[in-house]
Amino acid sequence: MKLFKRLTLAVAALALSHSAFAWNSFGHEAIAYVAEQHLTPKAKEECRRYLNHSLAYYSVWMDHYRNVGIFQPTNFWHGIKTDHAGKIDPAPRGHGQGLIHTERIIKEMKKYKNLPDSTVRQNIIYLIHMIPDFHTPVHINFPRRNFPQYNYSVRNKGKKMSIHAYWDGILNMYRKDWSMLRYYQEVDKLTPKEAKAYIKGAPKTWGEECVEAAHESYQLTPANMEIGNLPKEEQAHILKYADERALKAAYRLAATLNKIFK
């Protein structure tokens, strides 16, 4: 517990000054904020008790600790790796272990009351980040030798920008003055029926859906597309896709925590 607190203080400034590696800081924070609005009273109380903060506060923690000491193995826990056919790799090596560790933690947390508080807190922090991560289309890791068409750049006012960077920052790229609260108020308009459909299934089911959705993202943003001067209609089409990915991440994160702390 003391080590955790020391490390938190040591990189606090880093967390505020650097962009994240999947959804950018705003994206992760907005998703976590939306998720918190859909926690049951019991789950919200337990998360607050273990974290002593909001979900959004820890939403980019994993990005800033991924290369720090004992947390270095978590560098590989971001996103999902696929095989040569574009299906989920059941035993990924290196990057793309986000889904298997999500499943492992959920299983471990079934008896969370028997775990040390520090372990429960750390597991919550991992889930806050990993579930949204694999909903980011560019965090579905397709083998380059099998999917070379997915390795390209777009352009921002003539300058090259990786497709990865574009999708990471999409939630506030065209909404620069938005807050987490505004994102929730403007975007989270799901009906109960839609919300139920979003959380149906288990993490593996969600992961498979994320892989399928990732293919679609590359059709929306062709190579060398000029993102700085997109017509409003194209912006709206891309944002509709991105918001769906973000809301699915938020609702599924909330459903996971609600199930753990039922």
Domain boundaries of the chain, sorted by first residue:
1-262
- pLDDT at position 21: 52
Residue 230: per-residue pLDDT: 87
Give pLDDT, residue 12: 41
Do the bridges between strand 140-141 and strand 80-81 make them parallel or antiparallel, or are there none, so unpaired? parallel
Give the bridge partners for 153, in sequence order. 162
For residue 39, CA distances in Å to 34, 48, 184, 220, 257 come to 9, 11, 14, 32, 7
Q: What pLDDT, on a 0 to 100 scale, did the predictor assign at position 229?
A: 84
**In the prediction, which pLDDT does 6 show?**
46
Tell which CATH architecture fits domain 1-262: Orthogonal Bundle (1.10)
- Parts of the chain with a pLDDT under 70: 1-22
- 229-253 residue pLDDT tens: 889 999 999 999 999 999 999 999 9
Residue 112 makes CB contacts below 8 A (sequence gap 6+) with: 120, 123, 260, 261
Q: According to the model, what pLDDT value does residue 153 have?
A: 96
Question: What is the full DSSP assignment across the chain?
Answer: -HHHHHHHHHTHHHHHHS--SSS-HHHHHHHHHHHHHTS-HHHHHHHHHHHSS-TGGGTTHHHHHTTSGGGGGGGG-SSEEB-TTSSBPSS--SS-BHHHHHHHHHHHGGGGGGS-HHHHHHHHHHHHHHHHHTTSGGGEE--TTT-GGG--EEEETTEEEEHHHHHHTHHHHS-TT--HHHHHHHH----HHHHHHHH-S-HHHHHHHHHHHHHHHHHHS-TT-BGGG--HHHHHHHHHHHHHHHHHHHHHHHHHHHHHT-
| pLDDT per position as a tens digit, 93-112 | 999 999 999 999 999 999 99
- The token duo for 252 is 């599924």
| Predicted pLDDT of residue 5 | 45
